Amino acid sequence: MPPSAASMTLVTKVKVQLKLAIARLRMVQHRDEALAKNQRRAMAQLLETGKIDSARIRVENIIRSDIATELHEILELYCELLLARAGLLDAPTCDAGLEEAVKSIIYAAPKTEIKELQAVRTLLGEKFGKDFVMTAMENSDGKVSEKVVKKLSVTPPREELVVGYLEEIAKAYGVNWPKKPDADLGDAPPDFLDDDGDDNPSGGQAQKNLEAPLVADPAAGGKDAQVQEDLSKATPPRTFGPSSPLHVNPPSPSTDNIHPKVTLNSKELKPDKKAAAPAVAKKPQAKGGISDGIPDVDELAKRFAALKR
C-alpha cells in the first residue's frame, strides 16, 4: 500500500527538522568546547595557587559540560541515522532498525536545550502515537540507548573521575599537582667521595693505572677488517625498507575513561614518541678533489718527483 500524502508530508517535515537539529547540535558542541577550554585554564590557575577545594567543586561543571557534549554527539549520530533511513519512516509502525534511534531522541529531547530536537520529537509522536511516546519516555521496554540514559542521569561524579580531571588539567598546563616531593638520591658511592688527606691532583679521586694497550697482529687485523667491511656491506641499514605499518593511537579521553589505554595480550601498547626521520643520502666525495682539501698519494708522489728534478 503506497504511503498517503499526509504521511509523506510528515516525513518531509521530519527530514527538515533533522537537518536543522544536526546543525544546531554541532554549533552547541563547538560552543561548549570553547567554554571548556577557558574553564580548564581557570582550573589550572586554581591548582597553581593551591586552591584545591575550590578546584574540586568547579571541576564538576567541566565534567557535566563534557557529559552534555558526549550526549549531543550521540544524538547527532541518531539524527544522521534517521535522515539516512528516512524512507523507513513511511511505514505505519516503527522499523526495528530505527526503534533505538527514535526512542532515544524522544527520551532525550525534553532534557536538552535543542529546540529543533524537540520539534523532531513532536513530529515522531504524531507519526507513531501517544502510546509509543509514553513507552519511550518510561523506557519500559529498554529500547532507549544505555549511554543516553547514563548521560542524562543526575548523579554527582565519582571521586576518581574528579581527581583524574584535575590531574589531566594540571598535566596539560604544566602545573605540579599533586605535589611531587624531590626524589631522594641517597648517599654518593665511595668512588665519588673527596679525600682531603690525599695529595692527588685529580681532586681526591683515585685514578686507576692504565693497562698497556693490546697490539693486534697486522695480518689478523687486516683479515678482521676485511670481515667487518664485508659484514657492513651485507647487513642492510636500520632505515632500509618501509617502516612498521602498525601505529598505536589510544582513544580520546572521555568521562567514562579518563585515562585511555591500548592493550594487546594484557600488555599496554604505547605510541612511539620518536618520529621516524627520513634517511639522508650522503653525497659521494671525489677522492682527492678540490673540495676535499687533502691531495691523495698519487698527487703527492708527483709533487715529490717534480721537486727532485
Name the H helices within 129-174: 130-138, 146-152, 159-172
Report the candidate in 58, 32, 34 with the shortest Cα–Cα distance to residue 45: 58
Q: For residues 103 and 121, is the Cβ–Cβ distance under 8 A?
A: no
Q: Which cell numbers hold the place of 105?
A: 531522541
Helical pair 5-48 and 115-128, crossing angle rounded to 10 deg:
150
* Cα–Cα distance for residue pair 149/152, rounded to 1 Å: 5
Whether the CB-CB separation of 56 and 162 falls below 8 Å is answered with: yes
H or E element at residue 82: helix 52-84
Is residue 186's pLDDT more than 60? no
**Residue 276: its pLDDT value, please?**
42
| Ranges 69-78, 105-114, 204-213, 215-224: which has the least confidence | 204-213
pLDDT at 287 (0 to 100): 47
CA 212 from centroid of its chain's CA atoms: 55
Q: Name the pTM for this structure.
A: 0.62
DSSP E strands: which ranges in 222-266?
A: 262-264
Lowest mean pLDDT among 7-21, 45-59, 140-154, 191-205: 191-205
Give the three-class secondary structure for 296: coil
**Predicted pLDDT of residue 236:** 57
Average pLDDT of the residues of the chain = 78
User: Looking at the predicted structure, is the pLDDT value of residue 9 above 70?
Assistant: yes
Neighbours of 90 (CB within 10 A): 15
pLDDT at 182: 54
- With bands split at pLDDT 50, 70 and 90, how would you rate the model's confidence at 281? very low
Q: Is the pLDDT of residue 24 over 60?
A: yes
Residue scoring higher pLDDT (248 or 164): 164
Model confidence at 226, in pLDDT bands (50, 70, 90)?
Answer: confident
CA–CA dist 146, 33 (Å, integer):
24
pLDDT at 300 (0 to 100): 74
C-alpha cell at 304: 715529490
pLDDT band at 255 (very low <50, low <70, confident <90, very high): confident
| Cα R_g (the chain), whole angstroms | 36
Q: Residue 2 has what pLDDT?
A: 54
Cα–Cα distances (Å) from 197 to 78, 193, 207, in that order, read 82, 12, 15
Model pLDDT, residue 1: 44
